[in-house]
Amino acid sequence: MAELYEKKVRQTGVLITDPKKARAIGDPIRAAILQILSEREASIAEIREALAKKGIRIAPTTVRHHVDILKKAGLIELTRLVDSRGGVLKYYASNVRLIEHTPPEGFEEALTEAIEEAAQGVAGLFRGLAERHREEIDRMAESLKPCPYCSREHFREYVLLEVLNRAVARATRKKEFKDILKLKK
């Protein structure tokens, strides 16, 4: 049998999620709602208005359905209840930021040096975290259930990556990060 095609695939990213979250963000309407709620808190009516501005016109009950799915997946939270004309108005906000982009052509080649520099720094960071917080990391890793998709146990890997993911989320909320984004030549 002759080989017709071969390509070595290099992993260029790590996607950390669970099946419930993956299904929740797989729908374009829910992705749009998540984007809206990552910028500000909003009620169902306000979410519906923001979706309409994006060209998505759906009924309030449909918005509520999508919000419930995002809430059950742990991606958004109820932030406040407001007494409003005999009813209760619920406000929601996202506890994650969804950034939807495809890297431009030549991204890897143009930023290879920066990626390698960051990889070295992250490897050192992981080493330090694993040494200083071994007991907590091991305790969290032992509490996880096996991955349903493979036989490899990713427990410690997942815990370290999740620590980094949450640290990145905190760092990007700081004024210092926002100032870095404003820097231009």
Q: What DSSP string describes the chain? A: ------------------HHHHHHHTSHHHHHHHHHHHHS-EEHHHHHHHHHHTT----HHHHHHHHHHHHHTTSEEEEEEEEETTEEEEEEEESS------PPTTHHHHTHHHHHHHHHHHHHHHHHHHHHTHHHHHHHHHTSPPPTT-SS--HHHHHHHHHHHHHHHHHHHSHHHHHHHH---
* Mean pLDDT in residue range 12-18: 75
* Mean pLDDT in residue range 165-179: 88
Q: In this model, does residue 119 exceed pLDDT 90?
A: yes
Tell me what percent of the residues of the chain surpass a pLDDT of 90: 57
Q: 19-94 has which CATH code?
A: 1.10.10.10
pTM value is: 0.76
Could you tell me where in the chain the CATH 1.10.10.10 domains are found? 19-94
Q: In this model, does residue 65 exceed pLDDT 70?
A: yes
